[in-house]
């Protein structure tokens, strides 16, 4: 219902690949999924065979987004459940006001004088204090 995705509930036909750039094969017949992979490779199409990492050109990672902050999580297809749990963990521990912090850091960064290394050092010191303050609250 969201995006430009077509669910095909039918037996596999190579014709379904026409006009596609990315394909996700999720049948419950491993041989069919491998055939989808082979057909996609022959036509230079990206393919993900669900729960079969050797037959994946890409993985479905977990993404946590809070404003301008994005954390992407991948287990390289080895454990989608672990990626899900890590996503849930980061959703909880990343503060809701992280976007305000990022915007403020961006403004602060613009005011720092010196060469690149001096700016990085000052930002590292400043952000280290943010993490240490968060740790001391526990």
Q: Do residues 126 and 104 make contact, with C-beta atoms less than 8 angstroms apart?
A: no
DSSP string of 37-83, one letter each residue:
HHHHHHTT-EEEETT-GGGBSS---EEEEETTEEEEE--TTS-HHHH
0.85 cut: is pTM over it?
A: no
- Would the CA dihedral through 18, 32, 38, 78 be positive or negative? positive
Beta-sheet pairing, 46-49 with 62-66: unpaired
Partner residues linked to 65 by β-bridges: 70
Alpha-carbon span 49 to 55, nearest angstrom: 6
Confidence band for 138, pLDDT divided at 50, 70 and 90? low
pLDDT at 133 over 60: no
Tell me the per-residue pLDDT of 100-119, one tens digit each, with 9 for 90 and over. 999 998 898 899 998 999 88
Confidence band for 127, pLDDT divided at 50, 70 and 90? confident
Q: What is the largest CA-CA distance in the chain?
A: 64
Tell me the per-residue pLDDT of 42-91, one tens digit each, with 9 for 90 and over. 999 999 998 888 999 998 888 999 999 999 998 887 888 898 999 999 99
- DSSP reduced 3-state for 121: helix
């Amino acid at each position: 219902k969201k995006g430009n995705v077509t669910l095909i509930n039918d037996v596999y036909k190579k014709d379904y690949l026409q006009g596609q750039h990315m394909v996700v094969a999720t049948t419950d017949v491993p041989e069919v999924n491998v055939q989808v992979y082979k057909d996609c490779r022959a036509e230079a199409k990206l393919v993900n065979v669900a729960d079969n990492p050797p037959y994946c050109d890409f993985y479905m990672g977990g993404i946590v987004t809070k404003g301008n902050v994005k954390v992407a999580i991948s287990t390289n297809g080895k454990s989608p459940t672990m990626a899900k749990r890590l996503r849930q963990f980061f959703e909880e521990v990343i503060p809701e006001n992280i976007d305000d912090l990022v915007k403020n850091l961006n403004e602060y960064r613009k005011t720092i004088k010196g060469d690149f290394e001096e700016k990085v050092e000052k930002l590292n010191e400043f952000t280290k204090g943010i993490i240490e303050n968060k740790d001391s609250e526990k």
